[in-house]
Amino acid sequence: MSVQSSVPLATREDLALAYTPGVAQVCEAIADDESLVHELTWVGRAVAVVTDGSAVLGLGNIGPRAAMPVMEGKAVLFKQFGGVDAVPICLDTQDPDEIVAIVTALAPSFGGINLEDISAPRCFDIERRLEATLPIPVFHDDQHGTAIVVLAALRNAARVLGRDLRDLRIVVSGAGAAGVAVTKMLISGGADAGEIVVLDSQGCLHTGRTDLNPEKAALAATTNAGGITGDIANALRGADVLIGVSGGTIGETALAGMSPGGAIFALANPTPEVHPEIAARYAAVVATGRSDFPNQINNVLAFPGIFRGALDAGATRITDGMKVAAANAIAEVLAEGELSTGAIVPSALDPRVAPAVAAAVAAAARRDGVLR
Protein backbone atom coordinates (compact mmCIF):
# COMPACT_ATOMS: atom_id res chain seq x y z
CA MET A 1 0.00 0.00 0.00
CA SER A 2 0.98 3.60 -0.48
CA VAL A 3 -0.44 7.11 -0.49
CA GLN A 4 -0.14 9.12 -3.70
CA SER A 5 -1.16 12.64 -4.62
CA SER A 6 -3.92 13.05 -7.19
CA VAL A 7 -2.41 16.35 -8.38
CA PRO A 8 1.13 17.19 -9.52
CA LEU A 9 3.65 18.61 -7.04
CA ALA A 10 6.37 19.73 -9.47
CA THR A 11 6.51 23.51 -9.05
CA ARG A 12 6.36 26.16 -6.33
CA GLU A 13 2.86 27.02 -7.56
CA ASP A 14 1.77 23.39 -7.13
CA LEU A 15 3.13 23.37 -3.60
CA ALA A 16 1.45 26.67 -2.78
CA LEU A 17 -1.91 25.18 -3.78
CA ALA A 18 -1.47 21.77 -2.17
CA TYR A 19 -0.20 23.19 1.11
CA THR A 20 0.28 26.68 2.50
CA PRO A 21 -1.05 29.25 1.67
CA GLY A 22 -3.63 27.78 -0.74
CA VAL A 23 -4.87 25.07 1.59
CA ALA A 24 -6.00 27.71 4.09
CA GLN A 25 -8.79 28.75 1.71
CA VAL A 26 -10.12 25.19 1.75
CA CYS A 27 -9.90 25.06 5.57
CA GLU A 28 -11.87 28.30 5.86
CA ALA A 29 -14.54 27.08 3.45
CA ILE A 30 -15.03 23.89 5.46
CA ALA A 31 -15.05 25.82 8.73
CA ASP A 32 -17.95 27.85 7.34
CA ASP A 33 -19.78 24.78 5.96
CA GLU A 34 -18.61 21.44 7.34
CA SER A 35 -20.50 19.46 4.67
CA LEU A 36 -17.92 20.67 2.14
CA VAL A 37 -15.38 18.29 3.67
CA HIS A 38 -16.93 15.51 1.55
CA GLU A 39 -16.24 17.45 -1.66
CA LEU A 40 -13.02 19.35 -0.96
CA THR A 41 -11.03 16.55 0.74
CA TRP A 42 -10.72 12.81 0.33
CA VAL A 43 -13.29 12.19 3.11
CA GLY A 44 -16.05 11.65 0.56
CA ARG A 45 -14.22 8.68 -0.94
CA ALA A 46 -12.32 7.32 2.07
CA VAL A 47 -13.18 4.43 4.39
CA ALA A 48 -11.59 3.31 7.66
CA VAL A 49 -11.09 -0.45 7.93
CA VAL A 50 -11.18 -0.98 11.71
CA THR A 51 -10.45 -4.10 13.77
CA ASP A 52 -9.49 -5.11 17.28
CA GLY A 53 -7.94 -8.37 16.03
CA SER A 54 -10.36 -10.52 18.03
CA ALA A 55 -11.74 -12.74 15.24
CA VAL A 56 -9.34 -12.68 12.30
CA LEU A 57 -10.19 -15.03 9.42
CA GLY A 58 -10.02 -18.56 10.82
CA LEU A 59 -7.11 -17.56 13.05
CA GLY A 60 -9.11 -16.28 16.01
CA ASN A 61 -8.05 -13.68 18.57
CA ILE A 62 -4.55 -12.89 17.29
CA GLY A 63 -4.52 -9.22 18.30
CA PRO A 64 -4.18 -5.92 16.43
CA ARG A 65 -0.62 -6.24 15.11
CA ALA A 66 -1.09 -9.69 13.61
CA ALA A 67 -4.39 -8.50 12.10
CA MET A 68 -2.76 -5.71 10.09
CA PRO A 69 -2.01 -7.80 6.95
CA VAL A 70 -5.71 -8.63 6.60
CA MET A 71 -6.72 -4.98 6.99
CA GLU A 72 -4.11 -3.93 4.43
CA GLY A 73 -5.44 -6.55 2.03
CA LYS A 74 -8.96 -5.28 2.57
CA ALA A 75 -7.85 -1.73 1.82
CA VAL A 76 -6.20 -2.83 -1.42
CA LEU A 77 -9.38 -4.62 -2.51
CA PHE A 78 -11.43 -1.50 -1.77
CA LYS A 79 -9.20 0.49 -4.11
CA GLN A 80 -8.87 -2.13 -6.83
CA PHE A 81 -12.52 -3.05 -7.18
CA GLY A 82 -14.41 0.01 -5.90
CA GLY A 83 -12.04 2.91 -6.43
CA VAL A 84 -12.42 3.64 -2.71
CA ASP A 85 -9.45 4.81 -0.65
CA ALA A 86 -9.24 2.84 2.59
CA VAL A 87 -7.01 3.07 5.65
CA PRO A 88 -6.32 0.03 7.88
CA ILE A 89 -6.69 0.82 11.59
CA CYS A 90 -5.90 -1.83 14.22
CA LEU A 91 -6.95 -0.89 17.75
CA ASP A 92 -5.06 -2.10 20.81
CA THR A 93 -8.22 -2.59 22.85
CA GLN A 94 -11.08 -5.07 22.84
CA ASP A 95 -13.31 -3.07 25.15
CA PRO A 96 -16.53 -2.14 23.29
CA ASP A 97 -16.82 1.25 25.02
CA GLU A 98 -13.26 2.17 24.03
CA ILE A 99 -13.73 0.97 20.45
CA VAL A 100 -16.91 3.03 20.06
CA ALA A 101 -15.22 6.10 21.55
CA ILE A 102 -12.11 5.79 19.36
CA VAL A 103 -14.00 5.18 16.11
CA THR A 104 -16.37 8.06 16.91
CA ALA A 105 -13.37 10.35 17.43
CA LEU A 106 -11.79 9.19 14.14
CA ALA A 107 -14.98 9.45 12.09
CA PRO A 108 -14.54 13.05 10.81
CA SER A 109 -11.62 11.79 8.71
CA PHE A 110 -13.73 9.28 6.76
CA GLY A 111 -16.85 8.87 4.67
CA GLY A 112 -17.54 5.39 6.00
CA ILE A 113 -16.46 2.82 8.59
CA ASN A 114 -15.85 -0.82 7.67
CA LEU A 115 -15.66 -2.88 10.87
CA GLU A 116 -13.68 -6.07 10.39
CA ASP A 117 -12.85 -9.23 12.32
CA ILE A 118 -14.47 -8.21 15.62
CA SER A 119 -15.82 -11.17 17.58
CA ALA A 120 -19.47 -11.85 18.36
CA PRO A 121 -21.53 -10.89 20.27
CA ARG A 122 -19.47 -7.72 20.88
CA CYS A 123 -19.59 -6.83 17.17
CA PHE A 124 -23.38 -6.47 17.24
CA ASP A 125 -23.34 -3.93 20.06
CA ILE A 126 -20.39 -1.99 18.61
CA GLU A 127 -21.99 -1.70 15.19
CA ARG A 128 -25.39 -0.67 16.60
CA ARG A 129 -23.89 2.04 18.79
CA LEU A 130 -21.77 3.47 15.99
CA GLU A 131 -24.72 3.44 13.59
CA ALA A 132 -26.75 5.41 16.12
CA THR A 133 -23.93 7.91 16.72
CA LEU A 134 -22.30 8.56 13.35
CA PRO A 135 -23.75 10.36 10.29
CA ILE A 136 -21.81 8.08 7.90
CA PRO A 137 -22.23 4.43 6.82
CA VAL A 138 -21.04 1.80 9.32
CA PHE A 139 -20.78 -1.77 8.04
CA HIS A 140 -19.43 -4.88 9.78
CA ASP A 141 -18.32 -6.88 6.75
CA ASP A 142 -18.00 -10.25 8.50
CA GLN A 143 -21.72 -10.04 9.13
CA HIS A 144 -23.26 -8.25 6.21
CA GLY A 145 -20.78 -8.85 3.39
CA THR A 146 -21.04 -12.60 3.88
CA ALA A 147 -24.82 -12.42 4.23
CA ILE A 148 -25.28 -10.37 1.05
CA VAL A 149 -23.22 -12.76 -1.07
CA VAL A 150 -25.00 -15.79 0.46
CA LEU A 151 -28.37 -14.28 -0.47
CA ALA A 152 -27.16 -13.61 -4.02
CA ALA A 153 -25.82 -17.16 -4.33
CA LEU A 154 -28.97 -18.76 -2.92
CA ARG A 155 -31.17 -16.71 -5.26
CA ASN A 156 -29.24 -18.03 -8.23
CA ALA A 157 -29.05 -21.57 -6.83
CA ALA A 158 -32.84 -21.54 -6.56
CA ARG A 159 -33.08 -20.36 -10.18
CA VAL A 160 -30.79 -23.15 -11.36
CA LEU A 161 -32.76 -25.72 -9.37
CA GLY A 162 -36.12 -24.40 -10.52
CA ARG A 163 -37.13 -23.59 -6.95
CA ASP A 164 -38.56 -20.57 -5.16
CA LEU A 165 -36.53 -19.05 -2.34
CA ARG A 166 -39.59 -18.85 -0.10
CA ASP A 167 -40.25 -22.60 -0.40
CA LEU A 168 -36.78 -23.71 0.72
CA ARG A 169 -36.15 -25.28 4.11
CA ILE A 170 -32.83 -23.80 5.24
CA VAL A 171 -30.41 -24.82 7.99
CA VAL A 172 -27.78 -22.31 9.13
CA SER A 173 -24.98 -23.98 11.08
CA GLY A 174 -23.43 -21.25 13.19
CA ALA A 175 -24.96 -18.45 15.25
CA GLY A 176 -22.02 -16.06 15.46
CA ALA A 177 -21.66 -12.81 13.52
CA ALA A 178 -22.02 -14.40 10.09
CA GLY A 179 -24.77 -16.85 11.04
CA VAL A 180 -26.97 -14.18 12.61
CA ALA A 181 -26.49 -11.80 9.68
CA VAL A 182 -27.04 -14.52 7.05
CA THR A 183 -30.31 -15.53 8.69
CA LYS A 184 -31.57 -11.95 8.89
CA MET A 185 -30.49 -11.28 5.30
CA LEU A 186 -32.26 -14.35 3.95
CA ILE A 187 -35.46 -13.28 5.70
CA SER A 188 -35.12 -9.73 4.33
CA GLY A 189 -34.55 -11.26 0.89
CA GLY A 190 -37.75 -13.29 0.93
CA ALA A 191 -36.99 -16.61 2.63
CA ASP A 192 -39.63 -17.97 5.03
CA ALA A 193 -38.35 -17.30 8.56
CA GLY A 194 -40.32 -20.22 9.94
CA GLU A 195 -38.54 -22.60 7.58
CA ILE A 196 -35.06 -21.57 8.76
CA VAL A 197 -33.35 -23.45 11.59
CA VAL A 198 -30.20 -21.95 13.13
CA LEU A 199 -27.75 -23.93 15.25
CA ASP A 200 -25.01 -22.96 17.68
CA SER A 201 -22.55 -25.26 19.43
CA GLN A 202 -25.34 -26.53 21.71
CA GLY A 203 -27.80 -27.39 18.94
CA CYS A 204 -30.91 -25.86 17.38
CA LEU A 205 -32.05 -22.42 18.47
CA HIS A 206 -35.64 -22.59 19.71
CA THR A 207 -37.80 -20.67 22.15
CA GLY A 208 -37.50 -23.36 24.83
CA ARG A 209 -33.78 -22.71 25.36
CA THR A 210 -32.82 -20.56 28.33
CA ASP A 211 -29.09 -20.27 27.56
CA LEU A 212 -29.32 -17.87 24.60
CA ASN A 213 -27.78 -14.39 24.40
CA PRO A 214 -30.10 -11.61 23.16
CA GLU A 215 -29.11 -12.02 19.49
CA LYS A 216 -29.73 -15.76 19.52
CA ALA A 217 -32.96 -15.37 21.50
CA ALA A 218 -34.25 -12.93 18.88
CA LEU A 219 -33.49 -15.45 16.14
CA ALA A 220 -35.15 -18.25 18.07
CA ALA A 221 -38.31 -16.13 18.35
CA THR A 222 -38.59 -15.56 14.60
CA THR A 223 -37.26 -18.81 13.10
CA ASN A 224 -37.79 -22.56 13.50
CA ALA A 225 -41.58 -22.48 13.48
CA GLY A 226 -41.61 -26.27 13.81
CA GLY A 227 -39.74 -26.13 17.12
CA ILE A 228 -37.00 -28.54 15.98
CA THR A 229 -34.61 -29.39 18.81
CA GLY A 230 -31.40 -31.36 19.08
CA ASP A 231 -28.37 -31.56 16.83
CA ILE A 232 -27.52 -30.89 13.19
CA ALA A 233 -28.85 -34.29 12.10
CA ASN A 234 -32.30 -33.38 13.42
CA ALA A 235 -32.18 -29.99 11.75
CA LEU A 236 -31.09 -31.35 8.37
CA ARG A 237 -33.81 -34.00 8.16
CA GLY A 238 -35.78 -32.95 5.07
CA ALA A 239 -33.85 -29.68 4.62
CA ASP A 240 -33.17 -28.27 1.14
CA VAL A 241 -30.25 -26.01 2.01
CA LEU A 242 -27.32 -26.16 4.44
CA ILE A 243 -25.32 -22.99 5.06
CA GLY A 244 -22.23 -23.61 7.17
CA VAL A 245 -20.65 -20.58 8.86
CA SER A 246 -19.36 -22.26 12.00
CA GLY A 247 -16.25 -24.28 11.27
CA GLY A 248 -16.01 -27.82 12.56
CA THR A 249 -17.16 -30.83 10.55
CA ILE A 250 -20.64 -31.97 9.57
CA GLY A 251 -20.75 -35.73 9.03
CA GLU A 252 -22.29 -37.66 6.17
CA THR A 253 -24.87 -39.28 8.42
CA ALA A 254 -26.42 -35.87 9.01
CA LEU A 255 -26.13 -34.87 5.35
CA ALA A 256 -27.90 -38.03 4.26
CA GLY A 257 -31.10 -36.75 5.82
CA MET A 258 -31.33 -33.77 3.45
CA SER A 259 -33.86 -33.66 0.65
CA PRO A 260 -32.16 -34.59 -2.65
CA GLY A 261 -31.33 -31.96 -5.23
CA GLY A 262 -30.68 -29.10 -2.80
CA ALA A 263 -27.69 -26.91 -1.96
CA ILE A 264 -24.79 -27.00 0.49
CA PHE A 265 -22.81 -23.81 1.18
CA ALA A 266 -19.90 -24.88 3.41
CA LEU A 267 -18.21 -21.54 3.99
CA ALA A 268 -15.66 -22.08 6.77
CA ASN A 269 -12.12 -21.17 5.72
CA PRO A 270 -9.68 -22.71 5.10
CA THR A 271 -11.42 -26.01 5.89
CA PRO A 272 -15.11 -26.19 4.89
CA GLU A 273 -17.57 -27.90 7.22
CA VAL A 274 -18.17 -30.37 4.40
CA HIS A 275 -15.56 -31.08 1.74
CA PRO A 276 -16.98 -30.21 -1.70
CA GLU A 277 -16.50 -33.75 -3.00
CA ILE A 278 -18.58 -35.10 -0.13
CA ALA A 279 -21.13 -32.28 -0.39
CA ALA A 280 -21.68 -33.14 -4.06
CA ARG A 281 -23.01 -36.56 -3.02
CA TYR A 282 -25.91 -34.92 -1.18
CA ALA A 283 -26.59 -31.66 -3.03
CA ALA A 284 -26.91 -30.46 -6.62
CA VAL A 285 -25.27 -27.08 -5.88
CA VAL A 286 -22.15 -26.78 -3.73
CA ALA A 287 -20.42 -23.56 -2.68
CA THR A 288 -17.46 -22.78 -0.40
CA GLY A 289 -15.48 -19.77 0.75
CA ARG A 290 -12.38 -21.02 -1.09
CA SER A 291 -11.03 -19.83 -4.42
CA ASP A 292 -9.88 -23.29 -5.53
CA PHE A 293 -13.43 -24.68 -5.85
CA PRO A 294 -16.40 -23.47 -7.92
CA ASN A 295 -18.94 -21.06 -6.45
CA GLN A 296 -16.72 -19.07 -4.10
CA ILE A 297 -18.79 -17.03 -1.63
CA ASN A 298 -16.39 -14.10 -1.43
CA ASN A 299 -17.12 -10.83 0.38
CA VAL A 300 -15.17 -8.91 -2.26
CA LEU A 301 -18.24 -9.30 -4.44
CA ALA A 302 -20.07 -7.00 -2.03
CA PHE A 303 -18.13 -4.49 0.05
CA PRO A 304 -16.28 -2.43 -2.63
CA GLY A 305 -19.47 -1.75 -4.57
CA ILE A 306 -21.54 -1.19 -1.43
CA PHE A 307 -19.26 1.54 -0.15
CA ARG A 308 -18.76 3.00 -3.63
CA GLY A 309 -22.52 3.32 -4.02
CA ALA A 310 -23.07 4.64 -0.50
CA LEU A 311 -20.33 7.27 -0.89
CA ASP A 312 -21.52 8.30 -4.36
CA ALA A 313 -25.05 8.81 -3.07
CA GLY A 314 -23.94 10.60 0.09
CA ALA A 315 -25.67 7.99 2.24
CA THR A 316 -25.65 8.42 6.01
CA ARG A 317 -26.11 4.71 6.70
CA ILE A 318 -26.51 1.35 4.97
CA THR A 319 -30.09 0.11 5.17
CA ASP A 320 -31.51 -3.38 4.78
CA GLY A 321 -32.91 -2.19 1.45
CA MET A 322 -29.42 -1.28 0.27
CA LYS A 323 -28.11 -4.71 1.33
CA VAL A 324 -30.88 -6.56 -0.51
CA ALA A 325 -30.27 -4.36 -3.57
CA ALA A 326 -26.59 -5.31 -3.45
CA ALA A 327 -27.45 -9.02 -3.29
CA ASN A 328 -29.84 -8.73 -6.20
CA ALA A 329 -27.25 -6.87 -8.26
CA ILE A 330 -24.62 -9.55 -7.64
CA ALA A 331 -27.07 -12.29 -8.60
CA GLU A 332 -28.17 -10.49 -11.77
CA VAL A 333 -24.62 -10.00 -13.08
CA LEU A 334 -24.81 -13.57 -14.38
CA ALA A 335 -27.11 -13.76 -17.39
CA GLU A 336 -29.33 -16.80 -17.82
CA GLY A 337 -26.84 -18.48 -20.15
CA GLU A 338 -23.99 -18.01 -17.66
CA LEU A 339 -25.81 -19.68 -14.76
CA SER A 340 -25.15 -23.30 -13.90
CA THR A 341 -24.75 -25.48 -10.82
CA GLY A 342 -21.04 -24.66 -10.97
CA ALA A 343 -21.56 -20.91 -11.48
CA ILE A 344 -24.15 -19.34 -9.19
CA VAL A 345 -22.08 -16.23 -8.39
CA PRO A 346 -19.75 -14.14 -10.56
CA SER A 347 -16.00 -14.44 -10.22
CA ALA A 348 -14.45 -12.18 -7.61
CA LEU A 349 -12.46 -10.69 -10.52
CA ASP A 350 -15.50 -10.00 -12.73
CA PRO A 351 -15.29 -6.27 -13.58
CA ARG A 352 -19.08 -6.03 -13.92
CA VAL A 353 -19.76 -6.65 -10.25
CA ALA A 354 -18.68 -3.53 -8.34
CA PRO A 355 -20.27 -1.02 -10.77
CA ALA A 356 -23.54 -2.98 -10.74
CA VAL A 357 -23.57 -3.17 -6.94
CA ALA A 358 -22.65 0.51 -6.58
CA ALA A 359 -25.46 1.63 -8.88
CA ALA A 360 -28.02 -0.57 -7.11
CA VAL A 361 -26.92 0.55 -3.64
CA ALA A 362 -26.96 4.25 -4.59
CA ALA A 363 -30.47 3.89 -6.04
CA ALA A 364 -31.66 2.07 -2.91
CA ALA A 365 -30.16 4.79 -0.70
CA ARG A 366 -32.18 7.38 -2.60
CA ARG A 367 -35.34 5.27 -2.30
CA ASP A 368 -34.78 4.77 1.43
CA GLY A 369 -34.17 8.48 1.99
CA VAL A 370 -30.85 8.18 3.81
CA LEU A 371 -28.94 10.86 1.90
CA ARG A 372 -26.74 13.47 3.51
- Which one of the listed residues 74, 184, 216, 323 is annotated catalytic? 74
Q: Determine the pLDDT at residue 336.
A: 86
> Structurally, what CATH architecture does the domain formed by 33-136 represent?
3-Layer(aba) Sandwich (3.40)
285, 344 Cβ separation under 8 angstroms: yes
Element holding 172 (H helix, E strand): strand 170-173
Cα 345 to Cα 68, 171, 336, 338, distances in angstroms: 29, 20, 12, 10
Per-residue tens of pLDDT for the chain, all 372 residues: 888 888 899 999 999 998 989 999 999 999 999 999 999 999 999 999 999 999 998 788 999 999 999 999 999 999 999 999 999 999 999 999 999 999 999 999 999 999 999 998 899 999 999 999 999 999 999 899 999 999 999 999 999 999 999 999 999 999 998 999 999 999 999 999 999 999 999 999 999 999 999 999 999 999 999 999 999 999 999 999 999 998 789 999 999 999 999 999 999 888 899 999 999 999 999 999 988 999 999 999 999 999 999 999 999 999 999 999 999 999 999 998 999 999 999 999 999 999 999 999 999 999 999 998
**How far, in Å, CA of 311 to CA of 137, rounded?**
8
Q: Determine the pLDDT at residue 339.
A: 96
Q: Determine the pLDDT at residue 295.
A: 95
327, 189 Cβ separation under 8 angstroms: yes
**Hey, do 33-136 and 143-372 end up sharing a CATH topology, with the first three levels equal?**
yes
Is 142 annotated as contributing to ligand binding?
A: yes
Q: Determine the pLDDT at residue 1.
A: 87
1, 75 Cβ separation under 8 angstroms: yes
End-to-end CA, the chain:
30
Q: Determine the pLDDT at residue 115.
A: 97
Is 213 annotated as contributing to ligand binding?
A: no
What is the side-by-side strand order in the sheet with 285-288?
203-204, 196-200, 170-173, 241-244, 263-266, 285-288
What is the side-by-side strand order in the sheet with 46-51?
85-90, 46-51, 112-115, 138-140
Q: Please indicate whether residue 74 is annotated as part of the active site.
A: yes
Q: What are phi and psi of 266, to 5 degrees?
A: -105, 100
CATH topology of domain 143-372: Rossmann fold (3.40.50)
Q: Determine the pLDDT at residue 330.
A: 98
Is 252 annotated as contributing to ligand binding?
A: no
Q: Determine the pLDDT at residue 6.
A: 87
Q: Determine the pLDDT at residue 248.
A: 84
Is 234 annotated as contributing to ligand binding?
A: no
Q: Please indicate whether residue 19 is annotated as part of the active site.
A: yes
100, 113 Cβ separation under 8 angstroms: no
**How far, in Å, CA of 225 to CA of 69, rounded?**
43
Nearest Cα neighbor of 284 from 267, 297, 265, 299 is 265
Is 116 annotated as contributing to ligand binding?
A: yes
181, 121 Cβ separation under 8 angstroms: no
Q: What is the pTM of this model?
A: 0.93
**How far, in Å, CA of 201 to CA of 257, rounded?**
20
Domain ranges for the chain = 33-136, 143-372
Cα 187 to Cα 33, 147, 150, 181, 299, distances in angstroms: 41, 11, 12, 10, 19
